[in-house]
Amino acid sequence: MSERIYLLPVWIRAWHWCNAVLILTLIVTGASLHFSDPNLPLLEFSRAASVHNVAGVALASLYGLFVVANIVSGNWWQYVPKPPGIGHRCMVQARYYAYGIFRGESHPYPPTREANFNALQALVYWFVMYILVPTVVATGLVFMNPEIAPERLFGLDGLLPVAVLHYLSGTIITLFVVAHIYLGTTGVTVTSLFKMMITGWHEH
């Protein structure tokens, strides 16, 4: 049958699933708060607010752990797209998703122990984990403690830009999550990548 390599240590898998649960919770409660409507509440407002706060603080702590663990283990290196030919490899990967995948071609850059991610993946993950998540976490923490926010900005309430940034970054993360879950079905079989995230073993 297919060959297997052991790719993901336990801490990464545990982190990944905690992250997943927290982010999904935050998306649902966050949407419920932002689009709150007395006539069709997704979740009761104060319930949503308290769950969102708890999950938000948990995500902030988890992010702290993630950064530390990444430095200690050297895992951060995986997120750095490596030259030469990053652009070309991204193009090849994009062509695969747009065309090759439909013809049953195999992945152009299957993961190895040295490089878990293909170039496109590394770029996107880097952007999400080092730009978007810090933004949403930082603005969220200010949102929880509005006294840190500037009193006024451009003649409007100082919390407004913080809130809007929180909303925008949160939404883009939602887009990522949708795409990420879907791309999880593009392994050798529909479930093999999900299995990998549980067992740590990758099937080629």
Partner 1 sequence: MTVLKEFLPKIWLLLAVFLVVSPAWAQGDAKSINPELLEKIRKSNAECFACHSEAGLKNPPLPGLDLAKLRETIRDDEVFKNSNHGKMECRQCHGQGYQAYPHAVGSKQLISPCEQCHAVQVMKAEMQFDNSVHAKNLKDKFTCSTCHDPHVALAAAKLGDPRKAAAQDNHMCLECHNSDLTFAKYAPADKKRPNIDKIHAWLPNTRLHWDAVRCVDCHTPVAKTLSHEIANKDKAERNCVTCHSTNTALATRLYRHVAKTEANTYGFANSALLNSIYVVGATRHPLLDWAMVGLVAATVAGVLGHGLVRIILAWRRNRSGR
CB of 135 to ligand HEC, least distance (A): 18
- Quick one: 120 or 149, whose CB is closer to ligand HEC? 149
Contacts for 97 with CB less than 8 Å, ≥ 6 apart: 183, 186
* C-alpha pair distances (Å), 190 with each of 55, 97, 194: 30, 15, 8
Establish if 45 lies at the interface with ligand HEC (CB under 6 A).
yes
Q: Which of 41, 87, 146, 150 binds ligand HEC (CB under 6 A)?
A: 146
3 state SS of 26: helix
Nearer to partner 1, 59 or 159 (CB): 159
* 8 A C-beta contact, residue 148 and residue 110: no
Cα–Cα distance measured from residue 8 to residue 155, given in angstroms and rounded to the nearest whole number: 50
Instruction: Give 132's DSSP letter.
Output: I
Residue 159 interacts with ligand HEC (CB under 6 A): yes or no: yes
* Residue (83 or 155) nearer to partner 1, CB: 155
Q: Which is nearer to ligand HEC, 45 or 76 (CB)?
A: 45
Beta carbon of residue 31, minimum distance to partner 1 (angstroms, whole number):
9
Which positions lie near ligand HEC, rule CB under 6 A? 45-46, 49, 146, 159
